Amino acid sequence: MKPSIFSSFIVATCMLLFVACSGPSDESAQTEELAPELLAGKAVVEKTCIACHGQGLNGAPILGNKKMWGKRLPQGEDVLVSHAINGFAMEMMPPRGGNPGLSDEDIRNAVRYMMSLVQ
Ligand code: HEC
């Protein structure tokens, strides 16, 4: 075996080992238990709010995007909740996310969940 072939064999073996060992990491270990109100909020967000806040429609702050939420968080939970209940920014953010069936508590839970994603 010529040295050059031998060394490329070594390189190939190392790459194979690397690929074999770097499979998908086990993320379940990182999943935290959510408090009940956050779980309830998550359900509301995933049903209603995600339509705009998932992709950032019309500039909606994207879920989990710290930069987009950075200026909004300092207003505090109560102000954010009242904006979500009453509508905000010429109703680009519609009252209750456009779902009048949601209670004040549903909205508060949803806002808490959104905040928890960026804290
Ligand atoms: C029809 C699209 C749409 C839906 C549905 C929607 N939002 Fe929004 N939301 C927006 C937009 C757009 C903004 C950004 C408005 C702005 O500041 O220009 C926003 C902003 C917000 C803010 C920040 C308000 C502030 O004071 O900075 C909160 C909190 C919020 N939404 C909560 C919710 C919750 C909770 C739901 C679900 C119940 C929801 N949104 C559903 C479009 C939506």
- DSSP characters over 25-93: --GGGGPPPPPHHHHHHHHHIIIIIHHHHTTTGGGPPPTT-HHHHHTTGGG-HHHHHHHHHH-BTTTTB
pTM: 0.80
- pLDDT at residue 3 above 80? no
What's the pLDDT at 14?
A: 45
- pLDDT at residue 22 above 90? no
Domain residue ranges of the chain, discontinuous segments joined by +: 35-116
What band does 76 get if pLDDT is binned at 50, 70 and 90? Answer: very high
Q: 81 CA distance to ligand 1 centroid (A)?
A: 10
Give pLDDT tens digits for 37-67.
999 999 999 999 999 999 999 999 999 999 9
- pLDDT at residue 25 above 70? no
What band does 93 get if pLDDT is binned at 50, 70 and 90? Answer: very high
**Ligand 1 lined by 31 (C-beta under 6 Å):** no
**Ligand 1 lined by 60 (C-beta under 6 Å):** yes
Distance CA 97, CA 24 (A): 36
Residue closest via CA to ligand 1's atom 32 equals: 84
- pLDDT at residue 29 above 50? no
Ligand 1 pocket: which of 50, 52, 105 to mutate (most atoms <8 Å of CB)?
52
The yes/no answer on whether domain 35-116 falls in CATH 1.10.150.20 is no
